[in-house]
A and B are shown apart, each in its own frame.
Chain A
């Protein structure tokens, strides 16, 4: 099995659940996690005589996505089609989607390939469609349960061109889409709750061959890690088949994360004939350029641009810039904080944000976006350290106290007496006492044992509970 012999071709279909209050065609609540069938209107239950009414918010979100990926087409007239199939979690017997006239076509984005070069991935289309409900097969012995809460939740399905040539690129693309939709605020990006799901079309072909090999479709992969694993597994399986003289069969396969295997769901022959046709209950969605232009104001600064700004304006390290820029909540908090800071402190801000604040948030099972610390408090803390009022160590202590507190940094410093001791008189007095009680160590220090230098610095810190200004302590000790 030689790796050079074959190349892999991957295209992704990403189902992005849109973060709207109500469903695609009815004013039914979309909140995740409600008790089964508590968020189902007559429409989703397919009660006779019910009709769909399009939620315009979905249109606006889809347009924003189109603008964000530089789509050449944002359709002035898009239409809904019915995809007909029988399944209990789709009570109408059809899914409303956009086959022939999708809202968004021909966009693109760039990812970094294995060599660190940027690579363009084309997006064929993004169309609006409704999600299905959920069938629950495991809970009951002789029947299946159906939960229609998710039924009718708006999705945009984002279909890439087969432009990715390995699993890592597929993950990078998926992450980039994830970053775009979460930065746009049109999707909560929660993979575990199924808000962001991926199907991967995978094929192999001998290196140099132009035409594509037969593809298989890997269904419903709901984590970045699994996408990589599933694709690699499938590529291996396909190569093994071809090497053994067999053909790859066009089929839909399911990735089983527990058994780490893919298995066939249905072959091409078993595939449904979906009998698509224009939905006669819905009119074409007609918009003008002004309508599209109006959505431009909702397009935020995306990570790539943000990273450049962080590098140029604040001189962040590349790692820090990327880490912050890719996390919408972190970057919002960062941008808000640095506005209140001297420019020179921005670098420290990034550093502390990624280390101290993030770990603190994690220990509280929260995220920065929960705003338990305000940008005002955090900037005050950073400035206090920058001007030498407190040490980094104390800053961490204060940070913990700021959590869930309305107090300002200044108030905490005063209340707890945490201000750094830089008064040489006070420090000299402490050191004098220390020398008296540690004569031997002092003797060794005088003889040039630098370990003892650290010993005295440590003792001073201990006595001042970390408040002593280390630079000042050092100065005094050196003078002795």
Chain B
């Protein structure tokens, strides 16, 4: 894509170097060129046509926002009115959403142009995008490797320059991990910042919408429009709308950055070195590095894989073949309808998690699993709170490794370990991002920045300052740089 950043795009649009239509056409052209990546489930040409017209009028009359006319791809679990919203599942293959999710409404309001709905792991369950009913998404850096998940389609779309911006959702790492594996920046805001209204639920107490872009700066612009209190979501944070770009240009001199030695030591040498180099860059920019501990964080994956499946087992009950979505042929009776619809409609990983969650909530097991996991969750949140009495943000790895090959992780538990560094901050509901810090064996890797509750602008500030002084976020995979 010719214009990589939102400011450049806005400038080009306002100075009539390019029209909204031309910008859109370029996105669609790249989408077709890189069809092989399988980033997209459905395109939204009718919606786009109306949005293009409106955006161009606004630009021509000097109205609109910084985002007006900027193309966007929405992860296919956000309801977009009158378009298919599949969640990457057969069970919703033909489900047409009758309304817009709040975040979609907000971004539509800001004048963004919807190109398509992005591929994803079914119901956002997965770390490799291998669980989509619509096929795997390929990593633009290496077509034999995964893009990460569950927001793999969104991350790959931005990495391939199909769209400068994509929305994603993050329950246990589903924005940060694919951002790292695809070499883009991705942010998950604090729990409650972005409304969950209209986002198909996986695990309600963890799900958060977020943004992918090349640069942290662009994440800040889009996130600012996306977030805000929403009365339609009871868990929405009662805080005023915030401009997350306000601190971007502040120096990070004196910023206290927490490092978790235990996490660093668990990395292989190459990734460890890359991570240390990135952290040292932050130090060069004036930050102060402080070693911290999160004593209970090693329990996070276990707790997460009780809590998230428990919630999912209940949230996914509504997909029963009665009112919408896939229905099995010739059901014999009600029970047969339920059993076959769900057996045939859901993929393996989704069924696995429904089973785990159902079991964890069963009479006699609740105290041993669900209640204990909730306790661990609180303890981990406490760990973070005590860490944030010493530091402003935490810098940590995103993943234990760079993008892996398809079918490399056949054992679900080894796949779950992929989220070992992303899950703790999810359990604590904290804002966190992943930014590119260079290549290991020609594959991108990322650094995770975790902020205190509602401190999005602080982590975005650190990421932006880093990106002002480095160009890793501008690295593009070979063949995608036109």
Residues on A lying within 8 angstroms of B by beta carbon are 42, 45-54, 82, 84, 86, 88, 91-94, 146, 273, 275-277, 280-283
Contact = CB atoms under 8 A, between A and B. Distances in A.
Contacts of B363: 273, 275
B295 interface: no
Interface in B80-108: 85, 87, 92, 95, 97-99, 101
A88 B314 contact: no
Contact of A280 (B101, B205, B320, B338): B205
B101 to A, nearest CB: 6
A277 B98 contact: no
A48 B101 contact: no
Contacts of A45: 323
A281 B361 contact: no
Contacts of A46: 318, 323
B234 A146 contact: no
Contact residues of A: prevailing secondary structure: loop
Nearest to A92: B318
Contacts of A53: 231-234
A267 to B, nearest CB: 16
Contacts of B234: 51-54, 281-283
B415 interface: no
Nearest to A82: B314
B362 interface: yes
A47 B98 contact: yes
A51 to B, nearest CB: 5
10 contacts: A49-B201, A53-B231, A54-B234, A84-B313, A84-B361, A92-B317, A280-B203, A281-B201, A281-B235, A282-B235
Interface stretch (B29-37, B192-200, B273-281): B192-200
A80 to B, nearest CB: 10
A276 B322 CA distance: 23
Interface in B323-360: 323-324, 334, 338, 358
B98 A84 contact: no
A334 B323 CA distance: 51
Contact of A281 (B79, B200, B204): B204
B421 interface: no
Given A84-B317, A86-B338, A280-B205, A91 B232 contact: no
Q: Which of B99, B101, B196, B318 has the most CB of A within 10 A?
A: B318
B130 interface: no
A42 B358 CA distance: 26
A94 B314 contact: yes
Contacts of B205: 280
B311 interface: yes
Contacts of B338: 86
A82 B311 CA distance: 10
B33 to A, nearest CB: 32
Contacts of A277: 310-311, 314, 361, 366, 370
A48 B358 contact: no
A51 B199 CA distance: 10
B314 A93 contact: yes
A475 B362 CA distance: 88
Interface string B41-53: 0000000000000
A84 B314 contact: yes
Contact of A48 (B87, B232, B233, B313): B87
A162 to B, nearest CB: 23
Nearest to A90: B317
Contacts of A283: 234-235
Smallest CB-CB A-B distances: 8 pairs? A93-B317, A275-B361, A280-B205, A280-B204, A46-B318, A49-B198, A48-B200, A49-B79
A48 B310 contact: no
A71 to B, nearest CB: 25
